[in-house]
Amino acid sequence: MELKTSVLKGTEGGPHLLITGGVHGDEFEPMSAIRRLGRQVNDDDLRGRLTLVPVVNEAAFARGSRTAEDELDLARTCPGDPGGSITERTAHALSELIRSADFYIDLHTGGNIMEVWPMSGYGLVPDSRVLEDQRRMARAFNLPFVWGTNCELEGRSLSVARDARVAAIYTEYLGAGPCRQDGVDDYVDGCLNVMGELGMIDREQPASRVEHVVEDDRPNAGHMQICNPSPMTGLFEPCVGLGDAIEAGQSLGTVSDVLGERVIDVSSNETGIVLTLRTFARVHEGDALAVIAG
């Protein structure tokens, strides 16, 4: 399998930057932003090589879903298998591209069921040079929250980059279904900022919008799918918002059964900033309701 890419080659030497979107098929701002980048970046102004993949997971996009028909999470399937299922083959093709790059940006959103406060993240990798490059990239992307987390979680695009010593960041920007143009704009600007930081284009860096920088090397830090799980199946009604500062033990909201006869208050297990919040109200027991980073 080969992914559909757009490759721009500059007239001068420089690094190879890979930018991907659509690892999940329900994350739309990255797809639009990468297409716009392909139109906006001029080969004559570029130093190095830029590889763009607007939609990595085309099978999931065709379904309007996070996953393809095999229901495997591509972000937990890398490095994949060239002879496996559709997601395993896609993961293998993506992993090969990542290994070919010097730098990597993986653009995401919260998809159909979550919203994420705009953020850039990276793994706290053992290679000090790669880690410092990732910190520079994450800050240059210029979203409100910068989050460095434990790098041991396997199956991710960033775990492939870690093993290949490719400096890599991922980003998140809201979600819940639509393709917001402010998100597309911020993603285009963020990618151009990183390209400027890496010396690939001439670009005056804007004033910093970064409000918080947090690094957390605890096991499973950054594993959003396991945080603050729902205590039962039912209706989730949050009482906090993205970006709110909360204390451990403070209520995140309630989950109630179908008739509203049983209501359980869900308390935060961390002190910090509300980084993600479940927006699709119907939840199953164990579904992540919120991520608190701090």
* Residue ranges covered by each domain of the chain: 6-216, 227-293
Q: What is the pLDDT along the chain (294 residues), one digit of tens a residue?
A: 889 999 999 999 999 999 999 999 999 999 999 999 999 999 999 999 999 999 999 999 999 999 999 999 999 999 999 999 999 999 999 999 999 999 999 999 999 999 999 999 999 999 999 999 999 999 999 999 999 999 988 999 999 999 999 999 999 999 888 899 999 999 999 999 999 999 999 999 999 999 999 998 887 766 667 788 999 999 999 999 999 999 999 999 999 998 889 999 999 988 999 999 999 999 999 999 999 987
Find all residues with CB under 8 Å of 293, minimum gap 6, and list them: 145, 147, 214, 216, 270, 272, 273, 275
Contact at 8 Å (CB) between 158 and 171? no
Q: What is the pLDDT of residue 267?
A: 94
Strands 167-172 and 103-107: parallel
| Phi, psi for residue 121 in degrees, rounded to 5 | -135, 165
Q: What is the pLDDT of residue 77?
A: 96
Q: What is the pLDDT of residue 75?
A: 94
Residue carrying the six token digits 């970064």: 210
Q: What is the pLDDT of residue 287?
A: 93
The pTM of this model reads 0.93
Q: What is the pLDDT of residue 234?
A: 96
Handedness of CA 195, 196, 197, 200 (dihedral sign): positive
The percent of the chain in helix, strand and coil, each rounded to the nearest 5, is 30, 30, 45
What does CATH list as the number for 227-293? 2.40.50.100
Contact at 8 Å (CB) between 3 and 87? no
Q: What is the pLDDT of residue 221?
A: 67
Distance of CA 98 to the CA centre of its chain: 15
Residue carrying the six token digits 């995401």: 108
Residue carrying the six token digits 């990468």: 34
**Three-state DSSP class for 87?**
helix
**Three-state DSSP class for 191?**
helix
Strands 282-283 and 272-278: unpaired
**Three-state DSSP class for 170?**
strand
Class of the CATH-defined domain 6-216:
alpha beta
Assigned token pair, 197: 């930081």
Q: What is the pLDDT of residue 42?
A: 92
**Three-state DSSP class for 253?**
strand
Q: CA–CA separation, 94 vs 97, rounded Å? A: 5
Q: What is the pLDDT of residue 2?
A: 87
Amino acid at 52: L
| Phi, psi for residue 130 in degrees, rounded to 5 | -65, -45
Contact at 8 Å (CB) between 169 and 105? yes
